Structure 1
Amino acid sequence: MTTVTHAAGPTAATSVGERPRIGALTAETVFIGRSFRHSVRDVESMLMAVMLPVMLMLMFTWIFGNAIDPTGGYVDYVVPGIILLCAGFGASSTAVSVSRDMTTGVIDRFRTMPIRSGAVLTGHVVASLVRNLVATAVVICVGLLVGFRPSATPLEWVAVFGLVALYILAITYLFAAIGLAAGTPEAASGYGFILLFLPYISSAFVPVDTMPEWLRPIAEHQPITPVIETIRALLADAPLGDQAWWAVGWCVAIIVVAAVWGAWLFARKAGRR
Structure 2
Amino acid sequence: MTLVYEEETAPPQAHDRVQENSARVLIPQTLVQTRRILLKWARDLTAIIMVTALPVMFLVTMNIVLGHAVSQVTGYSGLYNTVPMNVLAAAVNGAAVGAIGLIGERDDGLLRRLWVLPIHRASGICSRIVAEIVRIMITTVVVLTAGLIMGFRFKQGILPTLAWLSIPVLFGLAFATLITTIAWYASKNFLLEAITLVHLLAILFSTGFLPVNQFPKWIQPVVAHQPISCAIDAMRALSLGGSVRTPMIATLLWVVGIAAVCIGPTLSGYRRASTRR
TM-score scaled by structure 1? Answer: 0.85
Correspondence 1:97 to 2:105: no
Which segments of 5 or more consecutive residues in structure 2 lack a partner in the other structure? 1-7
- Specify which of 251, 259, 262 is matched with residue 258 of structure 1: 262
- Aligned residue number for residue 237 of structure 2: 233
Distance 1:94 1:218 in 2: 28
Kindly provide the CA deviation profile for residues 119-173 of structure 1, in whole angstroms up to 9, marking residues without a partner as x: 3333233212211211111111111211223312111111111222111211122
- Aligned residue number for residue 189 of structure 1: 192
- Aligned residue number for residue 5 of structure 2: none
Aligned-pair identity (%): 24
- Specify which of 73, 87, 91 is matched with residue 91 of structure 2: 87
C-alpha RMSD of matched pairs (Å)? 2.6
- Specify which of 52, 68, 71 is matched with residue 69 of structure 1: 71
How many angstroms does 1:242 deviate by?
Answer: 1.8
- Aligned residue number for residue 153 of structure 2: 149
**4+ residue runs over 6 A deviation:** 11-14
Deviates more, 1:217-226 or 1:230-239: 217-226
Correspondence 1:36 to 2:41: no
Kindly provide the CA deviation profile for residues 27-50 of structure 1, in whole angstroms up to 9, marking residues without a partner as x: 322221210111222234113311
One-letter amino acid matched to 1:54 = V
- Aligned residue number for residue 62 of structure 2: 60
One-letter amino acid matched to 1:156 = P
- Aligned residue number for residue 4 of structure 2: none
- Spell out the pairing of 1:98-177 with structure 2 (5 A cutoff): 98-177=102-181
Which segments of 5 or more consecutive residues in structure 1 lack a partner in the other structure? none
How many angstroms does 1:61 deviate by?
Answer: 0.8
- Specify which of 50, 53, 72 is matched with residue 51 of structure 1: 53
Correspondence 1:212 to 2:216: yes
Query: The residue matched to 2:119 in structure 1 has which SS?
Result: coil
- Specify which of 12, 20, 31 is matched with residue 9 of structure 1: 12
Counterparts in 2 of 1:8 and 1:158: CA distance versus 1, 3 Å: same
- Contact (CA 8 Å) 1:91, 1:128: kept in 2 or not? yes
Distance 2:35 2:68 in 1: 45
Paired residue total: 263
Task: Flag the structure with higher helix content.
Answer: 2
How many angstroms does 1:6 deviate by?
Answer: 8.4
One-letter amino acid matched to 1:94 = G
Distance 1:12 1:210 in 2: 67
One-letter amino acid matched to 1:167 = F
- Contact (CA 8 Å) 2:51, 2:90: kept in 1 or not? yes
Deviates more, 1:98-107 or 1:219-228: 219-228
